[in-house]
Amino acid sequence: MAGTGEEELVFKSITEIGDLYRSKKVSPVEVTNTVLKRLDELNPKLNAFITVMAEKALQKAHEAEEVFMKGETAGKLYGIPISIKDIFRTKGIKTTAGSRILKDYIPDEDSALYNTLNDAGAIVFGKNHMLEFAYGFVHPDYGQCNNPWDFNRTAGGSSTGSASAVAAGIGFASIGTDTGGSIRLPSSFCGIVGLKPTYETVSRKGLLHLSHSLDHIGPLTRTVKDNAIVLESIASKKVNYDAVFSGSIKGLKIGVIRSLTDSRAHPEVPNLVNSAFQLLGESGAEMMDIEIPGIDAVMEIAFPILLSEASFYHKGWYPELASDYAAGTAENLKEGFNVPAVSYLEALARKRTFAEKVNAVFDDFDILVCPTSPSPATERDPTFEDTTYDYTQRTLPFNVSGHPAITVPAGVTPSQNLPVGIQFIGRYFDEATIYRAADVFQTVNGGYKIPCPLAVGK
């Protein structure tokens, strides 16, 4: 099969790679080798992977090559190199969750997510670095994962390696988890597309849970259309988004969550996001400011749930292994055991009430929008204790309510050339509408932009 330049190849879309396979212009083996080579070159700077499955990936690539050479029918993800967050169990393959506690853990079963990707023919070539147990702190044994836009800044978290890898052209997608923004925040920091689908859209069987009431599984990609392709393959119910991308949002009613757009933000973020809102209006959407009752108190709902459920999952390790956790993780687990049952149950009741309030807003609007993060990427990972910015204020509400939310790059800051994301929120199980709007916005805003330090492979 004829070759294609490596830099050009790794940043192609999933559809483009599939077309090259079917036309026999490029081989899955060639693409997989190129991705693995790029991983070897860039991972020392990024620290985006905990485990690399090169041998297994190349075996699957050779199998995929045979399928395409014979002209057999293959799905959209067939032969596509993809990584997964190291929080999904993989039989016979180390699964660490970014922690010393599980540094040698080799599961005897696969997660549903990993099985689904294998069944779709995807080539899972590595398991991504992450904040410890997805709980907001990197373990010192593993070190910080860095941002391809600036190697001296964090990629965000907790799906930190997933976002860093996809933005750097190491694979065409990754699968992460999102409990309070852990897909969307690193996607915003790294200038890619990240979706938290409707609660329970993707099976969580075999996931190492943080909080079963708030955990979501979703894809990180470079384009909105790629994101839809991945969700089609991993969703529990059969979906097809081919007809979604009409290229038009004329008449779509979009509500701007003004309190989340203007509050305590980095000074350049509102400018970029408001320019994005203007582009949506110029593209035919009807834009109007809105407020969601109770959204300012959502942390009071989420934290009793998150803290107590996380501690429940760690009761077999904590406090006996307390010294093996990152200090911040251990402190959170300690706090979780102190949450009264009444407070936990009250929080669950308030969670249902808040979801009803968000639902009511969709009586008048098709989509809600706001910034994804209050700032571009920071030098160190933001934590729960960070008092400068509240990093989950814009993402956490939709883990509590369970509505689908996707982040798309809105542009880069003039002062530091760092990405900023805009978030689209939709009705339950209406990923189609937020995909349509996000795709139109990404298109009129110039499409995916390769991180400047990597644009020439450096």
**Span 399-418, pLDDT tens digits:** 999 999 999 999 999 999 99
Place of tokens 């309070």: 180
Percentage with pLDDT > 70 across the chain: 97
Specify the DSSP class assigned to residue 144: P
- Known catalytic membership, residue 203: no
Asked if residue 438 has pLDDT above 90, the reply is yes
> Confidence band (pLDDT; 50, 70, 90) for 455?
low
Catalytic position from the list 174, 182, 311, 373: 182
The one catalytic residue among 60, 76, 85, 225: 85
The pLDDT assigned to 389 comes to 53
In this prediction, residues 245-271 reach a mean pLDDT of: 92
Q: What does the pLDDT read at residue 456?
A: 43
Mean pLDDT, residues 236-246: 95
Would you put residue 446 in left (φ > 0), alpha (ψ -120 to 50) or beta? Answer: left
Peptide bond into 158 cis (omega under 30): yes
Q: Residue 386: its pLDDT value, please? A: 57
Q: 303 near 396, Cβ under 8 Å?
A: no
Q: For residue 385, what pLDDT band results from cuts at 50, 70 and 90? A: low
Question: What pairs with residue 308 in β-bridges?
Answer: none
Which residues does 117 contact at the CB level (< 8 Å), separation at least 6? 77, 82, 84, 124, 175, 233, 234
pLDDT at 4 over 60: no
Residue 182 annotated among the catalytic residues of the structure: yes
At 65 the three-state DSSP class reads helix
Average pLDDT estimate for 175-204: 98
* For residues 41-63, average pLDDT: 98
Give the mean pLDDT of the chain: 95
Check residue 200 and give its pLDDT.
97
Kindly state the average pLDDT of the residues 142-157. 96
Backbone angles phi, psi at 150, to 5 degrees: -160, 105
Mean local confidence (pLDDT), 274-302 = 97
Does position 458 have pLDDT exceeding 70, yes or no? no
Instruction: Summarize the confidence of residues 310-319 as an average pLDDT.
Output: 98
Binned at pLDDT 50, 70 and 90, residue 112 comes out as very high
Looking at the predicted structure, is the pLDDT value of residue 383 above 80?
no
Report the pLDDT averaged over residues 417-429.
Answer: 98
361-382 residue pLDDT tens? 999 999 999 999 999 999 988 6
Q: Given the residues 27, 83, 111, 158, select the one marked as catalytic.
A: 158
Return the axis-axis angle of helices 28-46 and 54-69, rounded to nearest 10°: 150
Q: For residue 204, give the nearest of 214, 195, 217 by alpha carbon.
A: 217
Residue with tokens 């995929």: 64
The pLDDT assigned to 262 comes to 85
pLDDT band at 2 (very low <50, low <70, confident <90, very high): very low
Instruction: Give residue 194's pLDDT band: very low, low, confident or very high (50, 70, 90).
Output: very high
Phi, psi (rounded to 5 degrees) for 54:
-60, -50
Catalytic annotation present for 85:
yes
User: Is the model's pLDDT at 32 over the cut of 70?
Assistant: yes
Taking alpha carbons only, the member of 151, 92, 160 closest to residue 124 is: 92
- How far, in Å, CA of 372 to CA of 225, rounded? 19
The pLDDT, as a whole number, for residue 387 is 47
28-46 helix and 160-167 helix, angle to the nearest 10 degrees? 120
Residue 183: pLDDT over 60: yes
Question: pTM for the full model?
Answer: 0.97
pLDDT higher than threshold 70 for residue 3: no
For residues 73-94, b (16+ Cβ closer than 10 Å) or e, as one string? ebebbbbbbbbbbbbbbbeebb
Q: Three-state SS string across 26-40, please?
A: CCHHHHHHHHHHHHH
Asked if the model's pLDDT at residue 430 lies above 80, the reply is yes
- Quote the pLDDT of residue 320: 98
pLDDT of residue 6: 79
Query: What pLDDT sits at residue 1?
Result: 42
Give me Rg for the CA atoms of the chain. 21
Q: List pLDDT tens digits, range 282-291.
A: 999 999 999 9
Q: How far apart are CA 266 and CA 247, in angstroms?
A: 32
Catalogue all structural domains in the chain, each as residue range(s) with its CATH number. Answer: 6-454 (3.90.1300.10)
Examine the pLDDT at 138 and tell me if it is beyond 50.
yes
List CB contacts of 368: < 8 A, sequence separation 6 or more.
254, 255, 256, 257, 290, 292, 361, 362, 424, 425, 426
More confident residue, 382 or 452: 452
pLDDT surpassing 50 at residue 118: yes
